[in-house]
Amino acid sequence: MEHTKKLVLVSPEVLDRAKDSRPQRLEKTKVRELEDQLSSVLNDPHLDDTTKMKRYSEVLQRYTVYHAKADELPQIRVLPGTKYDAQSKDTSQTRAIERDVIESVPRAFKSKATQLLGKMTSSDSGLYWTDRGELIVDDRTIKGSHIVDLVNDMMRKRKSATPVGMDEFTKALARINTPRELIGNPDRWKEYAARMFPMEAYLNNLYYDPSHPAAFGGVGAIKRAAKQDKRNISVKKITEWLQGRDAYTLHKPPKKTFQRNKVIVSGIDSQWQADLVDVSSFAKQNRGYRYILTCIDILSKFAWARALKDKTSRSVTRAFRSILKEQNRKPQALQTDKGKEFLNKPFQKFLRDEKIRFFTTNNETKASVVERFNRTLKTKMWRYFTANGTRRYSDVLQKFLDGYNRSKHRSIGMAPKDVNEYCQEKVWQRLYGDVAVAEREFKFALGDTVRISMATRPFRKGYLPQWTDEVFTVARRIQRVPPVYRLKDYDGEMIEGTFYEQEMQKVSKEDQTYRIEKIIRRRTRSGRKEYFVKWKGYPSKFNSWVTEVYTYKNINSSPLLYPDNTVTHYRVKLAQPISLEGQWEVGLAEIIYPHQWYNVDEECEYSYTVNGGDQWWRKHIQPGHYGSMKDIFELLETNYLEHIKYIYHDKTRKLEIRLEEGAQVRFKGRLADMLGFQTEAPTVTQSITLDRPIDLRQPHNLFVYCDIVEPRAVGHTRVPLLRVVNVKQRYGEDVSMIFTNIHYQPVKQKYFDTIEMDIRDSVGRKVPFVRGNVIVTLHFRLKRASHFV
């Protein structure tokens, strides 16, 4: 007993019933014949995997019917024991079915099928199968199911219908945390993920599906869609999920109007603000004056202005000196923006000589008090222009200033000219008497990762990213009204200025990846290539060298090992296994392919009828590249020219189909897409002009998939997409594309000795190359150390 692998437990009563029960002789003979057919299909070397599985399914259905009476016999199942071993010498019927599973899957999937069976036979799976292969889940037999069919459908996408018992099978696999790499069928992975990560899968499917009303929307749109689908997902959960999506955080509309800190000063001339107004468009009418230097005292709101012909250090210094002399007033501190006209050495030396402290502003509103004065001044000027039919302001500029300084100011309750040292306390109380209000709570915690609004950039399009690619960390919180924050960058260096909560957006950077903006230079050290790169969205101080440890040229060079390889889908055996330590990424560095493929392949179908559908004729279509409308019309020509007519409109490049009563046409595959149909298998029952123009150049993009890449969200599913390659060259050329801007994707496994490549078009069809090979060069690198939380 110590060497026993599995025990089959049956009661004496069941054993007696098994002995007494006998199928009819005819049924026994038919069952044996069908069993022989199943074995023959699996072992036929002349059948490809698709045909083999199709025929196996057909025979299996007949086998199940003839074995129906055996349902009354006792069901024998294998109890969980030792881990599944593909080399086991067990000759039981159940073990034979396990061998059938391994033999039925394509050669490329046999290893995964073995691993999946091992996972299924673990002691806590609750998964068993009868001696006839019917699935048992938690002691419940799923009638009509078969383990061979279920495992094959879980491995890869097939054209056949969903097997019986798939829902129960998926639930059981999710319960035992089956690894992602063992589920190759994207449809099954979608169902599996929905059970393992119900909210995550639902939000991914909703958000990244362009046809969904809530696709790429905000919190409100997703919440409404979830409510409509009867999903109880809180606003907080949706917000947290969106914080980890660059597509949302980079394009979220920033708030531009909100309460800001008041500029508080102690008295008259304790702080001035200065700015330069550009009026260069009126230079000809104003003797060459192109700028106006404006200054204002923060407390009294008293303002000065000087017209300038240029903004050189000499002109700005001379103008500011004249302002100081005008009323013999001088500020203790001067605040400006970061314009070079104020930061130059001569102007800064002048301020130091006058013992005036200088500082700049860093936030969006810059020097807000002087900017508000600029708006008032320009309003007066433009009204003057309209009233007098002129654009000349240089003669009346000082009159505008005199009128402003003598007019009552709403915020201080008097005219700026009347504010003096005797009434400044009253003015101060009017401006700042309410600053001592209750403290407000901080929205962000220390250590939170945030993006900064880019709303400061003028004329920025609303659909472009509105926030920085670079992510910062909250380093300090300052209690003001409203509160402000100090931030630090990746290196821990404090960045200048303070930021309001409306200028910050909390993010959850889950992917921890960086995008290369450009390669600056290259070098080779110890035989290894290195690239000095600039990271997208980060300042130049973060430019760094990226070490190239692996660059692997992948070519369809293993036909003997993998006879099913094609130009568009192939697996190669590496000369030596690759073993990686740490977190690695891989990108497509180069691709070489023949730009020569069929736009009409063997999957295309064209059929027609002229008698209302009573009889359909299917026209033979010769696969090939149809490069002209003459070729297309020859392809579409039928024997019923008076019933079915095709007309090509040169200006719109659209196809018109004219049908007489009773005539219908049907298209399928690439042919339908090429002609301009929106669906893949349309049936036309009346005369129409197609909405889309004929496109003989498809496909326009090659989608390059690689099995070692971590799957990522594309549309409504997750796939191991390496890169999308844009097709630009002429048909018939051999194309070589080298990518300097490499898009890196995480590597999902640390050890591998084979790499599988798959080239498809935008709707997932294989690209029907006519000749040659597709050669790809993969570039591996260590993932950059991440500062994201």
pLDDT at 1: 46
pLDDT in tens, 375-388: 889 988 998 888 88
Pick the CATH number of 511-597+699-789 from 3.90.1150.10, 3.40.190.10, 1.10.10.10, 2.60.120.550: 2.60.120.550
Question: What does 657-725 look like in DSSP terms, one character per residue?
Answer: EEE-TT-EEEEETHHHHHHT-SSSS-EE-S-EE-SS---TT--SEEEEEETTBPPEEETTEEE-EEEEE
- The least confident of 99-103, 163-167, 637-641, 745-749 is 637-641
Predicted local distance difference test score (pLDDT) of residue 633: 80
Q: What is the CB-side half-sphere exposure of residue 107 using CA atoms within 13 A?
A: 13
Q: What is the pLDDT of residues 495-549, one digit of tens each?
A: 777 787 778 888 775 444 456 667 788 887 776 667 787 776 677 777 777 665 4
How much is the average pLDDT of 589-614?
Answer: 83
Mapped onto helix, strand or coil, the DSSP state of residue 523 is: strand
Interstrand relation of 528-535 and 516-525 (parallel, antiparallel or unpaired)? antiparallel
In this prediction, residue 25 has a pLDDT band, given cuts at 50, 70 and 90, of very low
The CA-CA-CA angle for residues 690, 695, 699, to 5°, reads: 130
In this predicted structure, the answer to whether residue 784 has a pLDDT above a threshold of 60 is: no
> What is the Cα–Cα distance from 17 to 73, expressed in whole angstroms?
7
Are 113 and 97 in contact by the 8 Å Cβ rule? The answer is: no
As a whole number of angstroms, the longest Cα–Cα distance in the chain is 123
| pLDDT given at position 21 | 45
pLDDT for the residue 320: 92
* Separation between Cα atoms, residue 719 and residue 710, nearest integer Å: 8
- And the tokens for 55? 């025929």
Q: Is residue 290 very low, low, confident or very high in pLDDT (cuts 50, 70, 90)?
A: very high
List the structure tokens of 698: 């498809």
Pick from 330-334, 541-545, 653-657, 748-752: least confident: 541-545
**Is 273's pLDDT higher than 80?**
yes
Question: What does the pLDDT read at residue 195?
Answer: 64
- 294-314 residue pLDDT tens: 999 888 889 999 999 999 999
* Over residues 227-249, mean pLDDT: 79
What pLDDT is attached to residue 510? 47
Q: How far apart are CA 477 and CA 485, in angstroms?
A: 5
Q: Are 654 and 689 in contact (CB under 8 A)?
A: yes
Are residues 507 and 244 in contact, defined by beta-carbon separation less than 8 angstroms?
A: yes
pLDDT in tens, 133-155: 888 887 788 888 888 888 888 88
What are the tens digits of pLDDT across the range 211-230?
Answer: 778 887 888 888 888 888 77
Position 551 pLDDT exceeds 90: no
CATH architecture, domain 243-256+435-507: Roll (2.30)
- Answer whether 649's CB lies under 8 Å from 665's CB: no
pLDDT of residue 38: 73
More confident of the two residues 381 and 458: 381
Instruction: Report the pLDDT value the prediction gives residue 125, as an integer from 0 to 100.
Output: 64
For residue range 764-774, list pLDDT tens digits in order.
888 888 777 88
In angstroms, rounded to a whole number, what is the distance separating the alpha carbons of residues 646 and 231? 49
> What would the two tokens of residue 121 be?
């036979």
Residue 722 pLDDT: 92
Confidence of residue 317 (pLDDT cuts 50, 70, 90): very high
pTM above 0.85, yes or no: no
- Who's near 364: CB < 8 A, 6+ residues apart? 256, 453, 455, 456, 503
Model confidence band, residue 76 (pLDDT cutoffs 50, 70, 90): very low
Residue 740 has what pLDDT? 77
DSSP string, 601-631: -TT-EEEEESSTTSS-EEE----B---SHHH
Q: Is the pLDDT of residue 705 over 90?
A: yes
Residue 638's pLDDT is 74
* Structural contact between residues 723 and 743, judged by C-beta atoms closer than 8 angstroms: yes
| CB-based contact 680:705 (threshold 8 Å) | no
Q: How far apart (Å, rounded) are the C-alpha atoms in residues 678 and 672?
A: 8
With cut-offs at 50, 70 and 90, classify the pLDDT of residue 558: low
* Burial class of residue 482, CB neighbours in 10 A (0-12, 13-18, 19+): middle
Q: Which two tokens stand for residue 429?
A: 């109380």
- Comparing 250-259, 425-434, 776-785, the range with the smallest average pLDDT is 250-259
How remote is the C-alpha of 781 from its chain's centroid? 21
Which of 18-27, 35-44, 269-278, 450-459 shows the highest mean pLDDT? 269-278
What's the pLDDT at 349? 92
- d(Cα 421, Cα 445) in Å, to the nearest integer? 43
Map out the domains of the chain as residue ranges. 12-195, 197-242, 243-256+435-507, 272-419, 511-597+699-789, 605-689
Instruction: Quick: pLDDT tens for 156-205.
Output: 887 778 888 888 888 888 777 777 677 878 777 777 766 666 677 678 77
CB contact burial 190-203 (16+ within 10 A = b; e otherwise): bbbbbebeebebbb
Q: What average pLDDT does the chain have?
A: 76
Question: Which pLDDT score is estimated for 291?
Answer: 94
Sign of CA dihedral 628, 631, 636, 640: positive
- Look at strands 333-336 and 272-278 and give their pairing: parallel
pLDDT tens across 658-692, in order?
898 889 988 888 888 888 887 777 888 888 888 88
332 has pLDDT over 70: yes
The fraction of the chain above a pLDDT of 70, given in percent, is 77
**In the prediction, which pLDDT does 19 show?**
47
Return the bridge partners of 534, or none: 518
Is it the case that residue 48 has pLDDT exceeding 80? Answer: no
C-alpha 391/C-alpha 480 separation (Å) is 44
Q: Which pLDDT score is estimated for 458?
A: 40
pLDDT beyond 70 at 75? no
For 359, counting Cβ atoms within 10 Å of its Cβ (0-12 exposed, 13-18 middle, 19+ buried), the class is exposed
Top pLDDT among 392 and 536 is at 392
Q: What local confidence, expressed as pLDDT, does residue 494 receive?
A: 80
Question: Domain 272-419 falls in which CATH fold?
Answer: Nucleotidyltransferase; domain 5 (3.30.420)
Residue 293 has pLDDT above 90, yes or no: yes
Q: How far apart are CA 183 and CA 156, in angstroms?
A: 8
pLDDT band at 78 (very low <50, low <70, confident <90, very high): very low
Distance CA 189, CA 371 (A): 57
**403/381 Cα distance (integer angstroms):** 12
d(CA 595, CA 211): 31
Report the relative pairing of strands 717-719 and 744-746 from DSSP bridges.
Answer: unpaired
CA distance 776 to 64: 46
Residue 575 has pLDDT above 70, yes or no: no
The residue to which tokens 């899957």 are assigned: 105
